[in-house]
Chains A and B, each alone.
Chain A
Amino acid sequence: QQQVKQSPQSLIVQKGGISIINCAYENTAFDYFPWYQQFPGKGPALLIAIRPDVSEKKEGRFTISFNKSAKQFSLHIMDSQPGDSATYFCAAPKVPKLSFGAGTTVTVRA
């Protein structure tokens, strides 16, 4: 059973638009919430991560928002670009394992 539920499964956004991906978790012992980005034919790579002592973290056009009471966290891609087209995974590590969401395929149309 997946410990992290991710939605939507896919989304299409116009260039310059905002992409939003949501994740919900059950285990309150999770204390670190990374997002991984995967391009076709490649392995996932860490994109951005947040710890639950902050509600938001921004790196360039990518922002994680964290809602501890709702046990949810989301990834926002601002000013989406065609190069952002990829599959995004949320994860919740509880060492030594990491539980991944099912993934969201983002397509940015030029």
Chain B
Amino acid sequence: NAGVTQTPKFQVLKTGQSMTLQCAQDMNHNSMYWYRQDPGMGLRLIYYSASEGTTDKGEVPNGYNVSRLNKREFSLRLESAAPSQTSVYFCASRAGQGNYSPLHFGNGTRLTVT
């Protein structure tokens, strides 16, 4: 059971380049999330999708776009990468929308923007 799969694992971009981070889950979960993790800042929510066909902004959405391609896949796009977007990006999913449903995380994409 793969759970949440993120690709790529590592990426180096030059300022101004674009890229898409891919995420897929095989647990038939309704909700999917993108977080970024920075030292001393914890996990900050970028965008989320409460169900297929919907997306909403989180705490730090500027510079990012998302697509909920289908129930399994939720991608994160950087249109014009900036050094401030150097971070570790985590995709997560959860079965329901209730508070008590735990998040299941992928193993992250480490992105460096030079």
Binding site for B on A (CB under 8 A): 2, 6, 9, 31-32, 34, 36, 41-46, 49, 51, 89, 93-98, 100-103
A93–B99 CB distance below 8 A: yes
Instruction: For A45, list chain B residues within 8 Å (CB).
Output: 104-105
B105–A95 CB distance below 8 A: no
**How many pairs, one residue from A and one from B, have CB atoms within 8 Å of each other in the complex?**
58
Against A, the Cβ 8 Å flags (1 = close, 0 = not) of B26-45 are 00000101010000111111
A97-B44 Cα distance, complex, nearest whole Å: 10
Residue from B45, B100, B104, B106 in contact with A97 in the complex, judged by beta carbons closer than 8 Å: B45
B102–A46 CB distance below 8 A: yes
Place the interface of chain B in its size category: 20 to 34
Given contacts A96-B31, A97-B58, contact A44 B99 (CB under 8 A): no
Instruction: For A6, list chain B residues within 8 Å (CB).
Output: 42
Given contacts A31-B99, A97-B58, contact A43 B42 (CB under 8 A): no
Of B13-21, B67-75, B79-87, B90-98, the one touching chain A:
B90-98
Q: Could you list 12 examples of A-B contacts with CB < 8 Å?
A: A9-B40, A31-B99, A36-B103, A43-B4, A44-B43, A46-B103, A49-B102, A51-B100, A89-B42, A89-B43, A95-B99, A98-B33
